[in-house]
Structure 1
Amino acid sequence: MNKVFMLILTMVFSVQTDNSEKVICRQGSVSFFSYTSVENIKAQNNQVSSIIDFESSKIAVSMLMNAFVFEKALMREHFNESYIESDIYPKATFEGKIIDFDPSIEGEQTRMVRGTFSMHGVNKELEIKTKIENIEGKYVLSGTFEAYVKDYNIKIPPLLAGNIAKTISVDFRFEYEPYES
């Protein structure tokens, strides 16, 4: 399945560029946290794929929703079946651009990433403050953003509304290596 996502990500960047101008992350990490006084919910997905095209500063991210791992099996079941409906909406994607990105800068830089996040059949424009580290040509992107449950048409039954936060904190970390086709 990961090969299918890599193919999709590669097609997004089908412009005529040298592969040395692209980097890829095959096992990025995305986690989320929902805090309420009733129950904390956290999950992590370490099977997230991403690619960056340095020439255009474009970035694409793709993740399978059912790859999130929860502390409790019942949380995972509810997440996939009742809320995210991963059988209908199996993945989430992000396509955007890193603003004012200069891949030649060594060390750390903070940049805004603007683009479209697609999840649960909804496309939402996002702007995310992102830390970019370039240490000897190895790139790491990381950051945090807030996702509002209501923005993605995720229905929470009134009985369970107190168990799930209205705002979910999402953390990400991607370690890139040179892209080789």
Structure 2
Amino acid sequence: MKKITIVVACLLMAGTAMQAQKYFTRDGNVAFFSSTPIENIEAHNSKATSVLDAESGRMEFAILIKAFQFEKALMQEHFNENYMESSTYPKATFKGAVKDWSKVNLSKDGEYPVTVAGDMTIHGVTQTVEAPGVITVKGDAISAASEFPIAVADYDIEIPAVVRDNIAKEVKVTVAIDYQPLSR
């Protein structure tokens, strides 16, 4: 009976440890910036959802397109209605993994340069992407950051000829995530 109790206790502890191996946020920050000679376009979204599996390095993101905030209301309206068609394509997603996850030591404070690769879906189009990033460990806190370009044409986002010179063909995307342990 004592052996069964020890085995059950070990299984329960292992289950608890496995639960603590996932990290989550609903408050991730994603921004994009586009520069042209006529006008700069910048938007911020502080409601990105992300999950990080600390055992495998797999990560997923979901971003509501309508949650991007612009300095000018008209830009935001055109972005949602004319370009991103956010009623038809309400979110952007990423499903992938940190390629060099074995280099990240979650029990040791530090900044770990990594490469993230996976499938990004924007405007109903999925592309395989790879981007540099940094995983930062400080105490029990884990954060992730990345900056990478996205070509608008890769996601079938049509820019009308009349404003084509006002919108860059490539936008710079910046991601900053502070993860919390996922508790069940």
1:122-180 Cα distance to aligned partner (Å, 9 max, x none): 00111110011000120110110000010000001111100100010000100001101
2:159 is paired with a residue of what secondary structure?
coil
Q: Equivalents in 2 of 1:32, 1:100: separation in Å?
A: 26
Which aligned pairs between 1:6-155 and structure 2 lie closer than 5 A? 18-101=18-101, 102=104, 103-155=106-158
Residue identity over aligned pairs, in percent, reads 40
Q: Which deviates further from its counterpart, 100-109 or 36-45? A: 100-109
Q: Equivalents in 2 of 1:105, 1:93: separation in Å?
A: 30
Q: Equivalents in 1 of 2:87, 2:181: separation in Å?
A: 33
1:38 maps to a residue whose letter is I
CA shift, 1:19, in A, is 1.3
Q: Equivalents in 2 of 1:31, 1:84: separation in Å?
A: 15
Q: Equivalents in 2 of 1:105, 1:120: separation in Å?
A: 39
2:74 is paired with a residue of what secondary structure?
helix
1:33-56 Cα distance to aligned partner (Å, 9 max, x none): 010011110000000010101112
Could you say which structure has the larger radius of gyration?
2
TM-score between both structures, scaled by the size of structure 2: 0.87
CA shift, 1:99, in A, is 1.6
Match of 2:170 in 1: 167
2:157 maps to a residue whose letter is I
1:176 is paired with a residue of what secondary structure?
strand
1:120 maps to a residue whose letter is H
Instruction: Please list every run of 5 or more consecutive structure 1 residues that lacks an aligned counterpart in the other structure.
Output: 1-16
1:19 maps to a residue whose letter is Q
Q: Equivalents in 1 of 2:83, 2:108: separation in Å?
A: 41
2:47 maps to a residue whose letter is Q
Q: Equivalents in 1 of 2:152, 2:73: separation in Å?
A: 21
1:78-109 Cα distance to aligned partner (Å, 9 max, x none): 00000000000000000001122233342111
Q: Equivalents in 1 of 2:131, 2:22: separation in Å?
A: 21
Instruction: Please list every run of 5 or more consecutive structure 2 residues that lacks an aligned counterpart in the other structure.
Output: 1-16
CA shift, 1:25, in A, is 1.3
